[in-house]
A and B are shown apart, each in its own frame.
Chain A
Amino acid sequence: MNIYIDGIQTKVAPDETILEACRKAGADIPSMCYAAGAEHRPSCMVCMVRNEDSGQMLPSCSTYPTEGMKIDTSSEEVQQTRKLAVELLLSDHRADCEAPCTIACPSGLDIGEMLCQYDKGDFAKAKSILASAFSLTEIPCDSCKGPCEKVCRRGTVDAHVQIKAIVKEIAAMEDIPAEAKPELASKYSKELFSSRLGIFSPAEKARLKESVHSKSTCLHCACLAKDDCRLRDIATSLKIKTPRFGVSSLQPFKAAKHITAQLVYEPSKCIRCGLCVYNTNDGFTFSGRGFGMQVIIPEESYTNVTEDIAALCPTGALSLEH
């Protein structure tokens, strides 16, 4: 059958969705709750297009074409609707994309990742990250005022992580080899959208103080999926800087749980698209409704889930520890 995508007549198969048809025809439609080959139901509303005849906005991932349909994928109205959907998702997304220390570092050191490896005990990798940012013989931290420590979230809980001291400690590990790799340097750029966690409530501070006991005391703010997050990519491409409606969420944040040895679930990053619900059998499920709706998994069901589900998750809510 024939439909018109942005005014251009296109031949489409009746059993492919408008999203699939438009993508084939080269129209760039973002989407979050859709994954090719997986069971999905429309929820994110980021893939909106407009039916030019009826003026209706449609989730393209779940709408099938009809003969002669005129689809608008790129008008201002469509763009604004998609942007609002993303802004709304971000307003319920209380999480840091990047660690604040990494953003702050004037030398481009990926401090968050370095502390991660340090706490894991992989000092070689930690040292390589260091070596990728600057020469180990001339550490710039000595002359730096340490903005990393000033923005450290742990600092708002009790005391900031001793980042400068840890950098020196790692640099001084003589028997450990270090190899500078450009990909290990901080990839943070101001062009990228970066979600911010905001400030902790007193109750949250108390919980974190009790529960986080890493070697460095680091809270590991950076998202495991920061380089592979559709929410972030789409927010960046829509040129969103800060969420228009502020950020407030009912989800427990920084409450990551290991579902399997490597699979980590962090509810505060979930956009409730349901891909993990629809694609596991007696695994993830919804709980509650409305704004308080969550994706949960009862402990008894952990064994019903495999790690490949992380690949379906469009955000860092389900990710594999690396």
Chain B
Amino acid sequence: MTMCSEDCLQKARQKEAAIQRADAIIERIGTTRDKIIPLLQALQEEFSYLPSDVLERVYLLTDIDRAQMMSVATFYSQFRLVPYGRHVIKVCNGTACHVKGADNVYDAFRRELSIEGDSVTTADGRYSVENVGCLGCCALAPAVQIDQKIYGHVQPGRVTEVLAEFEKEQQMTEQAAQQRQNRPPLGEVRLGMENCCQASGTAAIYEEVGRCCRDLDLNVTIKPVSCIGACNQVPMIDVAMPDGAIYRYPNVKVEDVQEILLNHFNTGSAVRRLRNRIFRSLDHLHNDSVWGSDVWKEPAERTRTINNFLTSQERVSTEGYGNMAPLNIEEYISCGGLEALRRALTGMTPGQVISEILDSGLRGRGGGGFPSGRKWSMVAAQENPVKYIICNGDEGDPGAFMDRILLESYPMRVIEGMIIAAYAVGASEGIFYIRAEYPQAVIRTRKALQMYRDMGFLGKGIMGSDFDFDIRVFEGAGAFVCGEETALINSIQGQRGFPSHRPPYPAVSGLHGCPTLINNVETLSQVPYIIRNTASRYAAIGTDSSKGTKVFALVGKVNHGGLIEVPMGTTLNQIIEDIGGGVEGGAALKAVQTGGPSGGCIPASLCDTPVDYEALKGLGAIMGSGGLVVLGEDSCMVDVARYFTTFTSGESCGKCTFCRVGIRRMLDILDRICTGKGKKKDLEDLEYLAESISKSALCGLGKTAPNPVLSTLKYFRDEYLEHFQGICRTGTCKDMVVYQVSQDCVGCTKCAKACPADAIRYTPYERHSIDTEKCTKCGLCIDECSYDAIKKVPIKTALQQ
């Protein structure tokens, strides 16, 4: 009896405490209806999900009612109404990860953690596993994120290892916390651990640093920091001393770690033999560009590849690549930053700025390619005293991470472009809309904004002019459709991300009914260059209809993937061969997918097409925001079409019939085709649906959603027809193949050991065989086999045998 009341009392106390925490958050964020998204984000961060008790407080204390809450909380994928495990494993399902087998990785995690059925959480509540749109680490595909940590190149066979690594790190974090409590640290070791520069090697370095600190009893704080943009220089560590000095070590090897630590934290130690070498590299650091990609190595070591990778590019948005710190405003200024802003504010009228942009030929980089100058003049022409400018950083395309890098590495430039645009159109408030999956971009942008404010470049009377303007950051909550400008506006206003019918265009009636200029991150990042170097110089880059440069995320089956910037008019072949170093493993190029789910697949035979809005559109693809996914001969084009259709079907907002139901029906048909159940009528229906949806859906995203299907039907129709014959030539469509062991098997037993489903019997020195009933077709055995003896055979052929 007493036990129970004790228990009840404690529960009541806990509930009371939770309510107090919730109330404090509500008071901090605000109580109006448009605050719902930031409010739910803050509450979820506090409680890890949205408990119903807490939501009751929201109804009680704010203007938000149940209808709005249900509508918004269930629309955005970020929000959870049920508790999750303590650690969340996010398996990236972006395009690059998909073509590298992300499905199998997801399955492997579930298998490893014994999660079964509909559940996504382990029985002990330690882990939850989910598929996510795109982590934007396409160069490291397949990528997985556990809590805040990203793991690259996670093949299904590495799942056990990754989990062990994560567990170890958890222990270390706890130990480090304990250590800090005991005595003040000697200094800090920082490692780029957060984003795509956290290549597989950094994890080993991290572990080694921890081990050394324990073994040598060094009280050093080990701090994972974000990507600094030099993906090809990792693993890199910074040693930060209490006096503020920072020593940077690129390309660190595990065996160097101990010496580096001793060099800084154990004075007088006998490691002089290494010192000279270290000082030599330090010279490089302080004399030359800090993040120059090719400065680290001795000239002899520089490979042609790196030279090619860099020299074929041209920098506008990523100007200063290799020698500018993302968050150093002085350095930005010394490199010509803010020169354009000064010129615009002190020497040009808004009209002159607009005509400069018009003359430059700049077109929207978000996908549509609408001339930016015309958009600006439309907003400028509006009489309304209140105008807004929004920077669209809701980069939702799987396989694209340009905006993330621009915001993480060049936030200063984007902000400068935004202030110039605001001045030109007469906007008084600016909003950065940054997608939820990019926490680092949010942090950096906020910091950069604060620096601008501190130095008087934002706020009242910017640079001594009478122009007042400030910018805030709005974090998206996980919805691809919010990249569409009207949906984005609805989202900022605290509603579902439903697009609105245009006209009226946001330029006339946008946020809160006021004229609103919406430009993509990359578009704005090109603006300072134009104003600083004149429109004519900008217009000299590119083709007749497409001016300037374009930033691409070059990913997929390419040797040297990454973020690149090339002048418009460069051909796809040049990009893949000269910059990307050709298709991975020397295989033949099959196609290039551009523009993500709104784009199309361009066959290898047409890859001498220049990158240009019109040229790409003519091929049934689009420039899109700039994802370039290279597909090799082992990619099934029907599967690629199905992949994108699955994506758009899941991301469709649901408002209009064509997108909500139509895309689903396309997916039904593709599912049938990919499982060998296609009917003859299906192809005709698929084509009819695709063409009709592209004509009639309500918004731009719906209209372009059939592009992957239309373009693959156009260029790879024979592959569709083969699927009707029961053949998937690449073996990608699992339901159409069985795994078989060929005569090349020498009986080494590697496959039997690797098989997670016990489908291969352990028969040393004999040809192995696969139990097709048990086989889950995860591909682990194929990866393991050194003799290429395991084949994917069409079911039809297998049956005939």
* Chain A residues within 8 Å of B, Cβ to Cβ: 41-46, 48, 57, 59, 62-64, 80-81, 84-85, 88-89, 91-92, 244-245, 248, 271-272, 274, 277, 280-293, 296, 298, 300-301
Q: Of all chain B residues, which has the CB nearest A296?
A: B70
Name the contact of A288 in the complex, choosing from B75, B649, B663 (C-beta under 8 A): B75
Among A46, A88, A245, A282: residue with most chain B CB under 10 A: A88
Q: Once the chains bind, are A289 and B653 in contact (CB under 8 Å)?
A: yes
Question: Is B259 among interface residues, defined by CB-CB distance under 8 A?
Answer: no
Q: A271-B657, A288-B654, A293-B660 are in contact. List 15 more A-B contacts (CB 8 A).
A: A43-B655, A43-B657, A44-B656, A45-B697, A59-B698, A63-B503, A92-B661, A92-B664, A245-B668, A277-B71, A285-B70, A286-B654, A289-B75, A291-B652, A293-B653
Closest chain B CB from A226 CB (angstroms): 22
Q: Once the chains bind, are B66 and A57 in contact (CB under 8 Å)?
A: no
Closest chain A CB from B75 CB (angstroms): 5
Q: Once the chains bind, are A289 and B692 in contact (CB under 8 Å)?
A: no
Among B479, B503, B653, B661: residue with most chain A CB under 10 A: B661
Q: Once the chains bind, are A85 and B657 in contact (CB under 8 Å)?
A: yes
Q: Of all chain A residues, which has the CB nearest B688?
A: A84
Interface segment, B93-101, B365-373, B493-501? Answer: B493-501
Q: Once the chains bind, are B692 and A290 in contact (CB under 8 Å)?
A: no
Q: Once the chains bind, are B660 and A285 in contact (CB under 8 Å)?
A: no
| A163–B695 alpha-carbon span in the complex (Å) | 50
B653: chain A residues within 8 A (beta carbon) = 289-290, 293
Q: Of all chain B residues, which has the CB nearest A250?
A: B664
Q: Of all chain A residues, which has the CB nearest B702?
A: A45
B75: chain A residues within 8 A (beta carbon) = 286, 288-289
Question: Is B149 among interface residues, defined by CB-CB distance under 8 A?
Answer: no
Question: Is B4 among interface residues, defined by CB-CB distance under 8 A?
Answer: no
Q: Once the chains bind, are B660 and A290 in contact (CB under 8 Å)?
A: yes
Closest chain B CB from A236 CB (angstroms): 18
A62-B665 CB under 8 A given contacts A272-B654, A286-B654: no
Among A81, A84, A248, A293: residue with most chain B CB under 10 A: A84
> Which B residues, 650 to 681, have Cβ-Cβ distances below 8 Å to chain A?
650-658, 660-665, 668
A44-B70 CB under 8 A given contacts A81-B692, A248-B668, A286-B75: no
| A281–B656 alpha-carbon span in the complex (Å) | 22
**Chief secondary structure at chain B's binding surface:** helix
Among A248, A283, A286, A301: residue with most chain B CB under 10 A: A286
* Chain B residues within 8 Å of A, Cβ to Cβ: 65-68, 70-71, 74-75, 479, 496, 498, 500-501, 503, 649-658, 660-665, 668, 685, 688-689, 692, 695-698
Name the contact of B67 in the complex, choosing from A44, A46, A284 (C-beta under 8 A): A284
| A85–B503 alpha-carbon span in the complex (Å) | 22
Q: Once the chains bind, are B649 and A291 in contact (CB under 8 Å)?
A: yes
Q: Once the chains bind, are B665 and A43 in contact (CB under 8 Å)?
A: no
| A184–B501 alpha-carbon span in the complex (Å) | 44
Closest chain B CB from A160 CB (angstroms): 32
Among B652, B664, B688: residue with most chain A CB under 10 A: B664
Closest chain A CB from B724 CB (angstroms): 18
Closest chain B CB from A286 CB (angstroms): 5
Q: Once the chains bind, are B665 and A91 in contact (CB under 8 Å)?
A: yes
Q: Once the chains bind, are A300 and B66 in contact (CB under 8 Å)?
A: yes
Q: Once the chains bind, are B65 and A282 in contact (CB under 8 Å)?
A: yes
B649: chain A residues within 8 A (beta carbon) = 290-291
Among B70, B479, B496, B652: residue with most chain A CB under 10 A: B70
Closest chain A CB from B498 CB (angstroms): 7
Q: Once the chains bind, are B650 and A290 in contact (CB under 8 Å)?
A: yes
A64: chain B residues within 8 A (beta carbon) = 503
Q: Once the chains bind, are A91 and B655 in contact (CB under 8 Å)?
A: no
Question: What are the 10 tightest A-B residue pairs by CB atom distance, in nearest-first order?
Answer: A293-B654, A285-B67, A88-B661, A282-B65, A291-B664, A290-B652, A57-B696, A287-B74, A62-B501, A285-B71
| A255–B321 alpha-carbon span in the complex (Å) | 60
Q: Of all chain B residues, which has the CB nearest A290?
A: B652
Among A92, A283, A291, A300: residue with most chain B CB under 10 A: A291
| A48–B657 alpha-carbon span in the complex (Å) | 12
Q: Of all chain B residues, which has the CB nearest A248?
A: B668
Q: Once the chains bind, are B657 and A45 in contact (CB under 8 Å)?
A: yes
Closest chain A CB from B697 CB (angstroms): 8
A289: chain B residues within 8 A (beta carbon) = 74-75, 479, 496, 651-654
| A298–B664 alpha-carbon span in the complex (Å) | 27
